[in-house]
C-alpha cells in the first residue's frame, strides 16, 4: 500500500528540505487549533540518561561481522586494519557508546581462544547459525574462520571510541575459561602468559573490558536452563573473577519479554546464598523483539511474523504496539526485581531489541536475518529510545539488534556498497539525549483509532522524551499516525525558550527506506524556528520522528 499525502502547513519548506516529500512547519505562537500538548516539567528530573542505552550489538551471524564490520586488510573496500572505514566514521558520528559481542546465541557456542593468536593459525568451526543459513550464504557465514576475534573487536571499539561488552560462553565452557578470557583482556602488560599473547597481537596494554555477559538467553539457546539452574551457574561464574583494578560489571542472562517467572526464579535462587550475592550482579538482561504481526491470530514464531517492506497501516500500528509493550516489560520486571533488591542496585539491560520480520527483504540475498528497515522501523526505534529515556533509573544499557546487515540495522553493507538506514538516522538524531537529565514529560493527544480485523483498536497519538543539558533542552517526539498531523503546544514548566531548531524524519510513503542504489531516499531535514510569540506551537507530520533543540533562559 502506498500512502501519499500532500501534507502542507504553511509554506515554510527550507530549500534543503525540498527533497522531503512530506512538509512540516513550526510556528512560534500560541495556536487555537492545537489538539495536542507536550508539557516538560523542568523541576521533575527522573535521572541521568545513560549514554549506554544508545548501545549496539554485533554477532557472528549472517553478514554482521564478515562483510558488515570486517572486510579484511587487503580488501578493495576502504578499511582501517581490516575494519570497514565507513562504519567506523558513521558510528563516531552517532557517539556509539558500547557494542555487545560476539552474540547472541553464538556466544554460548564460542571458544574465545579460537579467535586469538596468528590469524592464519586460527581454527575453522561450524558457526552456531550454520543450520539456519540459506544455501546461497557465503562459506564464512556457515563456517567460522575466526579471522575476527577479541583483538579485532576491541580494535573496532577503540576506533569508534566506545566500550566493548563481551558475552561469555556459559553453556559450553567451564567458569575457568571465563576467568581466562577476563585475564586475556584485562591482566596488566607482561603479567601473565595471556597478557603476553595479547601483546604479541599488538596490545601490550590491557583492554580494560568492564562489561561481561554471563551467558546469553540461558533459558533457550544458552543452555535451556531453568532460572534456578542458571542462578547456580551464575553464582559459580561470578564467584572469583580476577579484577586487575578494573571495575567489572557482570550481566546476568535475563528474561525473554514477559517471562516474569524467569526474573523471580533467578533472584530467588541467587539469594538462597544470602543478600550479598546481589553485589555480583550489575544488571539483568531483557530481550524483547517485536515480531508478532498476526493481529492476535497466532503465537507461532514463524507464522506470526510479517514482511519488512510490504505492510498496510494496520501492520504499522501492530508493530508499534508490539514495541510499546517494552515499557510494561521494564516496569514489570523492575517490580519483581524490587521484591529481592529493595534498593534497586541491579539494573535492567535491554541488550537485544528491535523488530524481527520474516525472510524476504535482504539487501544482500543470502544474508541470514537481514531485513531492510523502513520509516516504520525508524518510528519504532525512536519510540523505543524515548521509552528508555523515560526510565533512566531502571535501564542502564540497551543494545539494538543488530548493528549492520541484521534485523533492526543502522547500516547495510555489501562489498563497497553501504547505506545508512532510517534507524541509523534516528540514532543520529537521538544521540543528543546521551548523558542528559531526563525530565518528566506529559503528553496529551488524540489517540489513533484503527480497525484490527473488524475489532476497534487504539494506540497513543503522540509520545516523546526530554533531557536537559545545561541551558539546552532536547525534546524528541513521535507521531505514529499514518495520515494525521498533530498540532501541538509545547509548554516548558520552569524555563523560557530563547532559541529553537528542529530535525524531522518523515516521508509521504510509510514504506520509505534507503537502499544501496538510493541511499538518500529517506533522510532527516533540519530547520530553525523563528520565535515570535509567547508560546511554541509545532505541527508534527504524520508518521514522523522529530528532535527539537531548545535554548533556555
Ligand atoms: O539477534 C538474533 C538472536 O536473537 C540472538 O542471537 C539471540 O540472543 C536472540 O534470540
Identify the CA nearest to 540 among candidates 499, 506, 509, 498: 506
CA–CA separation, 534 vs 306, rounded Å?
46
* Confidence at residue 7, expressed as pLDDT on a 0 to 100 scale: 25
Peptide bond before 102: cis, by omega within 30 degrees of 0? yes
Quickly state the pLDDT bin for 532 (edges 50, 70, 90).
confident
Quickly state the pLDDT bin for 229 (edges 50, 70, 90).
very high
**244 phi-psi bin (left φ>0, alpha ψ -120 to 50, beta other):** left
Quickly state the pLDDT bin for 4 (edges 50, 70, 90).
very low
**62 DSSP assignment:** T
Helices (H) and strands (E) in the chain, counts: 10, 26
Quickly state the pLDDT bin for 10 (edges 50, 70, 90).
very low
Ligand 1 pocket, residue 254 CB under 6 Å: no
- Residues whose CB falls within 8 Å of the CB of residue 444, separated by 6 or more in sequence, listed in order: 36, 37
Residue of 144, 152, 183, 352 marked active site? 352
CA–CA separation, 137 vs 118, rounded Å?
26
CA–CA separation, 334 vs 543, rounded Å?
31
The grid coordinates of residue 120 equal 592464519
CA–CA separation, 460 vs 443, rounded Å?
10
Q: Which atom of ligand 1 is nearest to the CA of 407?
A: 1
Kindly give the distance from the C-alpha atom of residue 372 to the centroid of ligand 1, in angstroms, as a whole number: 18
Quickly state the pLDDT bin for 91 (edges 50, 70, 90).
very high
Q: CA separation (Å) from 447 to 26, 38, 141, 484? A: 22, 14, 45, 11
Identify the CA nearest to 409 among candidates 430, 427, 423, 425: 423
- Residues 348 and 334: beta-carbon distance below 8 Å: yes
Kindly give the distance from the C-alpha atom of residue 171 to the centroid of ligand 1, in angstroms, as a whole number: 15
* Confidence at residue 535, expressed as pLDDT on a 0 to 100 scale: 76
Residue of 133, 217, 318, 487 marked active site? 217
The grid coordinates of residue 141 equal 557465514
* Confidence at residue 28, expressed as pLDDT on a 0 to 100 scale: 54
Kindly give the distance from the C-alpha atom of residue 347 to the centroid of ligand 1, in angstroms, as a whole number: 21
- Residues whose CB falls within 8 Å of the CB of residue 455, separated by 6 or more in sequence, listed in order: none
CA–CA separation, 253 vs 264, rounded Å?
13
217 tagged catalytic: yes
Three-state DSSP class for 286?
strand
Quickly state the pLDDT bin for 225 (edges 50, 70, 90).
very high
Q: What is the pLDDT of residues 152-183, one digit of tens each?
A: 999 999 999 999 999 999 999 999 999 999 99
3-class SS string, 419-434: EECHHHHHHHHHHHHC
pTM to 2 decimals?
0.94
352 tagged catalytic: yes
Q: CA separation (Å) from 142 to 68, 111, 265, 366, 370? A: 15, 16, 36, 11, 15
* Confidence at residue 31, expressed as pLDDT on a 0 to 100 scale: 55
Mutate-to-test residue for ligand 1 from 105, 216, 224, 359, highest number of ligand atoms within 8 A of CB: 105
Strand-strand pairing, 486-493 and 143-144: unpaired
E strand or H helix at 265:
helix 260-270
- Residues whose CB falls within 8 Å of the CB of residue 145, separated by 6 or more in sequence, listed in order: 66, 122, 124
Which residue, judged by its Cα, is nearest atom 2 of ligand 1? 104
Q: What is the pLDDT of residues 335-368, one digit of tens each?
A: 999 999 999 999 999 999 999 999 999 999 999 9
Amino acid at each position: 500500500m502506498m500512502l501519499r499525502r500532500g501534507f502542507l502547513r504553511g509554506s515554510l519548506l527550507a530549500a534543503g528540505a525540498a527533497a522531503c516529500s512530506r512538509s512540516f512547519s513550526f510556528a512560534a505562537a500560541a495556536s487555537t487549533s492545537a489538539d495536542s500538548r507536550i508539557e516538560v516539567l523542568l523541576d521533575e528530573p527522573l535521572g541521568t540518561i545513560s549514554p549506554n542505552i544508545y548501545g549496539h550489538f554485533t554477532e557472528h551471524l549472517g553478514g554482521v561481522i564478515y562483510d558488515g564490520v570486517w572486510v579484511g586488510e587487503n580488501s578493495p573496500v576502504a578499511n582501517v586494519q581490516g575494519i570497514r572505514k565507513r562504519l567506523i566514521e558513521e558510528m563516531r558520528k552517532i557517539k556509539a557508546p558500547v557494542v555487545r559481542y560476539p552474540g547472541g546465541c553464538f556466544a554460548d557456542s564460542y571458544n574465545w581462544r579460537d579467535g586469538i593468536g596468528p590469524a592464519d593459525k586460527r581454527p575453522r568451526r561450524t558457526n552456531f547459525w550454520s543450520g539456519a543459513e540459506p544455501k546461497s550464504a557465503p562459506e564464512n557465514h556457515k563456517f567460522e574462520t575466526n579471522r575476527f576475534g577479541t583483538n579485532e573487536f576491541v580494535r573496532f571499539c577503540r576506533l569508534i571510541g566506545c566500550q566493548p561488552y563481551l558475552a561469555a560462553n556459559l553453556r559450553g565452557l567451564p567458569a575457568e575459561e571465563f576467568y581466562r578470557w577476563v585475564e586475556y583482556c584485562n591482566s596488566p602488560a607482561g603479567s601473565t602468559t595471556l597478557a603476553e599473547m595479547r601483546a604479541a597481537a599488538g596490545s601490550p596494554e590491557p583492554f580494560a573490558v568492564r562489561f561481561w555477559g554471563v551467558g546469553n538467553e540461558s533459558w533457550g539457546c544458552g543452555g535451556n536452563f531453568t532460572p534456578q539452574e542458571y542462578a547456580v551457574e551464575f553464582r559459580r561464574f561470578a564467584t572469583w573473577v580476577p579484577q586487575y583494578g578494573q571495575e567489572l560489571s557482570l550481566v546476568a542472562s535475563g528474561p525473554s519479554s514477559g517471562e516474569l517467572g524467569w526474573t523471580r526464579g533467578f533472584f530467588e535462587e541467587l539469594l538462597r546464598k544470602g543478600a550479598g550475592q546481589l553485589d555480583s550482579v550489575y544488571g539483568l538482561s531483557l530481550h524483547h523483539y517485536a515480531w508478532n504481526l498476526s493481529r492476535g491470530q497466532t503465537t507461532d514464531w514463524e507464522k506470526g511474523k510479517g514482511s519488512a517492506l510490504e505492510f498496510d497501516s494496520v501492520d504499522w500500528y501492530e508493530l508499534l504496539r508490539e514495541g510499546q509493550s517494552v515499557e510494561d516489560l521494564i516496569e514489570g520486571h523492575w517490580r519483581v526485581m524490587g521484591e529481592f533488591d529493595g534498593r534497586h542496585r541491579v539494573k535492567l539491560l535491554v541488550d537485544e531489541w528491535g523488530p524481527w520480520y520474516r525472510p524476504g527483504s535482504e539487501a544482500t540475498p543470502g544474508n541470514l536475518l537481514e531485513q531492510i528497515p523502513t520509516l516504520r522501523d525508524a518510528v519504532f526505534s525512536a519510540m523505543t529510545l524515548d521509552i528508555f529515556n523515560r526510565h533512566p533509573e531502571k535501564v542502564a544499557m540497551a543494545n539494538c539488534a543488530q548493528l549492520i546487515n541484521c534485523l533492526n540495522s543502522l547500516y547495510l553493507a555489501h562489498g563497497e556498497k553501504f547505506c545508512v538506514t532510517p534507524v541509523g538516522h534516528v540514532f543520529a538524531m537521538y544521540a543528543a539525549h546521551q548523558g542528559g537529565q531526563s525530565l518528566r514529560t506529559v503528553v496529551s493527544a488524540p489517540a489513533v483509532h484503527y480497525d484490527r480485523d473488524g475489532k476497534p483498536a487504539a494506540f497513543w497519538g503522540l509520545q516523546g522524551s526530554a533531557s536537559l543539558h545545561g541551558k539546552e533542552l532536547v525534546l524528541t517526539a513521535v507521531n505514529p499516525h499514518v495520515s494525521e498531523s498533530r498540532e501541538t503546544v509545547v509548554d516548558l514548566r520552569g524555563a523560557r525558550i530563547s532559541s529553537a531548531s528542529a530535525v524531522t524524519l518523515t516521508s509521504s510513503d510509510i514504506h520509505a527506506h534507503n537502499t544501496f542504489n538510493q541511499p538518500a531516499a529517506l533522510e532527516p531535514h533540519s530547520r530553525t524556528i523563528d520565535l515570535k510569540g509567547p508560546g511554541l506551537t509545532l505541527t508534527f507530520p504524520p508518521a514522523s520522528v522529530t528532535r527539537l533543540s531548545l535554548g533556555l533562559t
